């Protein structure tokens, strides 16, 4: 396995990696705190959270296996060359474990707090069982973006989460660039294409959410879903019996 050629670049790599870790990890807390203070998860898309858990779980498995398993590392070197470095850092492992824990806490909040008439879609449940990390990164943001557009509001969705996620994405991408510059090789990017796309896709959707919050719907209350305040809690996933009775 290759070693660092430049000590300053190695230090920069570590700093950027842990900056990404803290930015991305802290980004989970504004939504958890907001839910706790409101004792409500109305405005937070449940599909977003479920798909997020699936995505982070698969990312955690990938990071742990490549970082700790000599067998998998050997397979990586056989494919990309023994002169390359492992593209997974300690901060990647730490982040993915933390992400799974915090997303699970958010799911618990969805189960115990007021959620109006919002539910997890059956399509989302099915996709969460079949998806992989990058695909999940793409589709997990879409339900929340659509909900914000439909409600013409981001009320109930923490923008602090997005700002920190955006910072983490930039730091994560910069960390990979530093390693590539030091090694004079871009294998780091396509050798860990999941991490590369994770950063770019996160940045792209974060920009969309920031535009929705600060430009399109600044400080607006939702103009639809008014029945959320009029109806009590309902099951997260509507059963087939319920659907049939409603159609009678």
Q: Which of 140, 136, 177 is nearest to 47 (CA)?
A: 140
pLDDT at site 55: 82
Q: Rounded to 5, what percent of the chain is helix, strand, coil?
A: 70, 0, 25
Measured distance CA(183)–CA(5) in Å, rounded: 7
pLDDT tens sequence for the chain (248 residues) = 678 899 999 999 999 999 999 999 999 999 999 999 999 999 998 988 988 898 899 889 999 999 999 999 999 899 888 888 888 999 999 999 999 999 999 999 999 999 888 888 777 666 555 455 556 667 778 889 999 999 999 999 999 989 999 999 899 889 989 988 998 888 878 777 777 887 888 899 999 999 999 999 987 555 544 444 444 455 666 555 554 555 55
Give the three-state DSSP class for 153.
Answer: coil
- Backbone phi, then psi, for 129, in 5-degree steps? -90, -15
- Backbone phi, then psi, for 114, in 5-degree steps? -60, 125
Beta bridge partners of 40: 114
Measured distance CA(145)–CA(211) in Å, rounded: 11
């Amino acid at each position: 396995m290759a070693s660092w050629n430049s000590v300053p670049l190695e230090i920069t790599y570590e700093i950027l990696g842990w900056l990404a870790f803290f930015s991305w990890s802290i980004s989970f807390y504004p939504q958890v705190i907001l839910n706790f203070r409101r004792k409500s998860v109305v405005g937070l898309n449940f599909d977003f959270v479920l798909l997020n858990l699936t995505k982070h779980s698969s990312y955690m498995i990938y990071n742990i296996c490549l970082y700790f398993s000599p067998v998998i590392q050997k397979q990586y070197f056989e494919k990309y060359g023994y002169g390359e470095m492992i593209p997974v850092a300690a901060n990647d492992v730490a982040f993915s474990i933390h992400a799974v824990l915090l997303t699970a806490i958010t799911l618990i909040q969805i189960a115990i707090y007021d959620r109006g008439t919002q539910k997890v879609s059956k399509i989302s449940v099915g996709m969460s069982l079949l998806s992989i990390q990058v695909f999940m990164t793409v589709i997990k943001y879409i339900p929340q973006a659509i909900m914000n557009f439909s409600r013409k509001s981001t009320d109930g969705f923490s923008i602090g989460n997005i700002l920190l996620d955006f910072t983490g994405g930039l730091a994560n991408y910069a960390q990979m660039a530093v390693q590539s510059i030091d090694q004079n090789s871009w294998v780091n990017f396509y050798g860990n294409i999941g991490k590369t796309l994770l950063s770019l896709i996160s940045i792209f959707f974060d920009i969309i959410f920031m535009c929705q919050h600060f430009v399109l719907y600044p400080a607006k209350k939702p103009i639809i879903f008014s029945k959320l305040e009029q109806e009590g809690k309902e099951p997260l996933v509507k059963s087939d019996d319920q659907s049939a009775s409603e159609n009678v």
